[in-house]
Amino acid sequence: MDDFAPDHVRAFIARTRVAEMKSRGWRVLGPGEEGSLLMEGPMLAARTVVTDAPIGGMFDDLVARALERADARDHAAARRAA
């Protein structure tokens, strides 16, 4: 129980969600705060992506859309000028 597992997460989980978390591979470590249990479970795959680049993907998408809009305006202005 005291072993450190870098690929696992420990969290206080509400008693009402314990069954759901157990079905996802989490295990109960002991009592927690009011109405919760201390549980340990596998690190979420998406979490490593989020910590590597929190807004990177979203930012890249926004820049791509802005460039597309700018190109469309340029083409429309060139058509009007011709």
- Each residue's pLDDT tens digit, 53-67: 556 566 777 778 888
* Predicted pLDDT of residue 44: 67
Tell me, yes or no, whether 59 and 37 share the same domain. no
Tell me, yes or no, whether 7 and 36 share the same domain. yes
Q: Residue 26 in contact with residue 13, Cβ under 8 Å?
A: yes
Alpha-carbon separation of residue 36 from 13, 30, 77 (angstroms): 5, 9, 62
pTM for the model stands at: 0.46
Tell me, yes or no, whether 70 and 50 share the same domain. yes
What percent of the chain has a predicted confidence (pLDDT) above 70?
A: 74
**Domain limits for position 71:** 44-82
* pLDDT, greater one: 57 or 81: 81
Count of structural domains, the chain: 2
Tell me, yes or no, whether 75 and 60 share the same domain. yes
* Predicted pLDDT of residue 53: 54
Tell me, yes or no, whether 25 and 61 share the same domain. no
Work out the pLDDT band at 80, boundaries 50, 70, 90.
confident
